[in-house]
Amino acid sequence: MTTITDALVAFLRARLDETEATALAVPTIEGTVPPAHFKQSTWPKDEGKVLMGTAADFPVPTAEHAAHIAAHDPASVVADVAAKRTLLAFHWTHIASTDEGERPGCVVCGYVTGAGCPTLLALASAYAEHRDYDRSWALPL
């Protein structure tokens, strides 16, 4: 029996594979500079600009922009993908006997509505604009 949760898992695995592949495609650099970092320029003409950089620093608008970019460096993205894959591994389908017959449910979330694991629905909502996202997965408001 293929369930909504099975479809969600396949969809999420594909998105995580894409995200990880993009992160791993970022070239690494030799030396002691991390792939993403930021610092405040000490060059007087920069007037305290924040520099975001890899091998050659470049200015970014604000320290908040730089912090955001640094938080999404390839290593952070790969760690996030690994954590989400662990969530996927925990939320698997079981078939429960109910008054209405056998219904698929999530072993962690405990639902047996057949509407899909709410945790996976929430994870999938981050990709709601993806062409493969099924609008029936939208979380109820």
Query: Which residues would be at the binding site for Zn ion (CB under 5 A)?
Result: 91, 106, 108-109, 117, 119
Residues 6+ apart with CB under 8 A from 128: 138
- Count the residues in the chain: 141
Rounded least distance, CB 107 to Zn ion, Å: 7
User: CA 29, CA 42: separation in Å to the nearest integer?
Assistant: 23
Rounded least distance, CB 4 to Zn ion, Å: 11
Judged by beta carbon, residue 67 or residue 109, the one nearer Zn ion is: 109
Collapsing DSSP to helix, strand or coil, 31 comes out as: coil
Rounded least distance, CB 89 to Zn ion, Å: 11
Judged by beta carbon, residue 109 or residue 115, the one nearer Zn ion is: 109
User: CA 139, CA 141: separation in Å to the nearest integer?
Assistant: 6
- The end-to-end CA distance of the chain, in Å, is 28
Rounded least distance, CB 112 to Zn ion, Å: 11
Dihedral of alpha carbons 2, 10, 140, 112, sign: positive
Judged by beta carbon, residue 23 or residue 117, the one nearer Zn ion is: 117
Judged by beta carbon, residue 84 or residue 91, the one nearer Zn ion is: 91
Collapsing DSSP to helix, strand or coil, 39 comes out as: strand
